[in-house]
Structure 1
Amino acid sequence: MTITLRPGSTVMFAGDSITDSQRLDSEDGLGFGYPLRVAGEWDFRHPDRPVNWLNTGIGGHKVSDLETRWQTDVLDARPDVVSLLVGVNDMGWHTLDPDGRVIPAEEFAAGYDRLLAPLAEAGTELILVEPFLLPIRGTVMAGPGAQIDDAVREEWRADLDPKIQVVRELARRYGAHLLAADGMFAELAAASDPEHWSADGVHPTPAGHAALAAAWLRLVA
């Protein structure tokens, strides 16, 4: 079944930099990534069903960071739908993370569950977006002075896969709609260059954001 967005519904996008997409620099606060594309396409298709779109993503945030601001940034807004994409920063970023700590899947699961529980209790519709990692090969830049190579990506993948399973299990437990982004991008990368969808394997290109938005819109009616 799909989620029905009714006139006046409030949809909240939450997560890290992939959702943030420079939202504070955008006129409407939605950023320049998939939340903006979702909102624009929906409003184009359904001018008779206006929706209140909100984005509270913050770059670099982990599940634990979302927990500290969940009440004020998300719960207090009383959204009808919450779309959550988080997890890529929870895989530690290894050489990019000053403390080098890899968060266990069990800790990730417990924190993620604490985010969802009050929303489920309030009857909020949930869309959980899998964290993802595209199979980019070779050494690329992932920010000022930060390099990612194949060995690092293999470590990331080994750490991320159990966390993807956590998101899938929580989606089943809460009856949430799952956007299987990791699988989607794996299929897209197999059919064309992975770099077409993400230059560093983590942050989507405009085409990658468009793919996320199209998949998101297939979950709503």
Structure 2
Amino acid sequence: MRFTRDDRLLFVGDSVTDTRRDRADPTSLGEGYVRMIAEALPFPATVVNKGLDGNRVHDLEARWDTDVLGLAPSVVTVLIGINDTWRRYDRGLISPVPEFEASLGRVLTLTAKTCAARLFVMTPFLLPVSPEQERWHEDLSPRTEAVLRTAAAHGATVVRTDLALLGAAGVHGAAALAPDGVHPSPLGHRVLADAWLAAAGAGREGGPPRLRGCEHD
């Protein structure tokens, strides 16, 4: 995909996307993969970070109209799911996979109806650093499959961050990429950014006409 200076690239998700962004500053991109992507683009496109610490998919759905559609993006990237798994094990809060899949599907459907935005869906990931975290895969694996099904059903470009990080862990070790198994280190964020850029095939101006942003009645 070729982006132009007029494109608005919006990233939405949980703490992996948030990365300590200044929520009082709409231009703040945080310290992670979103900033790295913005810095790697060959021109100054508008990039917006709407990650929010602790979000599960229902939190994302509750703020979708304001934090996504209301900003009229031409490209929307979603990364969600690890907290839906994590909360099962640390707080006993169950996020049934069918409900998770339905919620993610609703926000993507709403975006398709309201916008002509290009959709990117990043897979949730886990690099276990303890035997306890190894158990999380029983919940996360079917959730990842749900993400893949939903992305395919909506024609979204999939960014296999789970596979990218797993491959990098074979070289650097899991703890070097995500010390707690969930939150990436700077190296982990670089892997995420590179995976997104590869999936996007980000190019310079002069490609096809840009996609329109969201339209409200």
Given the two structures, how large is their TM-score scaled by the length of structure 2?
A: 0.87
C-alpha deviation, 1:25, in angstroms: 6.8
CA distance in 1: counterparts of 2:24 and 2:178, whole angstroms: 22
Deviation digits for residues 36-81 of structure 1 (CA, Å, limit 9, x no counterpart): 0000111xxx23xx31110111000011001111101110111000
Residue of structure 1 aligned with 2:154, choices 164, 174, 185: 174
CA distance in 1: counterparts of 2:33 and 2:6, whole angstroms: 21
Q: 2:127·2:166 contact (CA, 8 Å) conserved in 1?
A: yes
Number of residue-to-residue matches in the alignment: 199
Please identify runs of 4+ aligned residues in structure 1 that moved more than 3 A.
25-28
CA distance in 2: counterparts of 1:94 and 1:171, whole angstroms: 24
After TM superposition, the structure 1 = structure 2 runs for residues 56-95 of structure 1, keeping only pairs within 5 Å, are: 56-95=50-89
- Structure 1 unmatched ranges of 5 or more: 139-149
C-alpha deviation, 1:191, in angstroms: 2.4
- Structure 2 unmatched ranges of 5 or more: 204-217
Q: 2:74·2:118 contact (CA, 8 Å) conserved in 1?
A: yes
CA distance in 2: counterparts of 1:69 and 1:195, whole angstroms: 32
CA distance in 2: counterparts of 1:123 and 1:115, whole angstroms: 14
Which residue is equivalent to 1:185?
165
CA distance in 1: counterparts of 2:157 and 2:2, whole angstroms: 12
Which residue is equivalent to 2:142?
162
DSSP 3-state at the match of 2:22 = helix
Deviates more, 1:161-170 or 1:189-198: 189-198
Larger RCO, structure (CA 8 Å, separation 6 or more): 2
Q: 1:109 to 1:95 in 2, by over 3 A?
A: closer
DSSP 3-state at the match of 1:39 = helix
What code does the residue aligned with 2:137 have? R
What code does the residue aligned with 1:106 have? P
Given the two structures, how large is their TM-score scaled by the length of structure 1?
A: 0.85
Which residue is equivalent to 1:14?
12
Q: Over the residues paired in the alignment, what is the CA RMSD in angstroms?
A: 1.5
CA distance in 1: counterparts of 2:172 and 2:48, whole angstroms: 33
Which residue is equivalent to 1:128?
121
CA distance in 1: counterparts of 2:191 and 2:21, whole angstroms: 19
What code does the residue aligned with 1:127 have? F
Which residue is equivalent to 1:144?
none
DSSP 3-state at the match of 1:171 = helix
Give the percent of matched residue pairs that are identical in Structure 1 and Structure 2: 36
DSSP 3-state at the match of 1:23 = coil
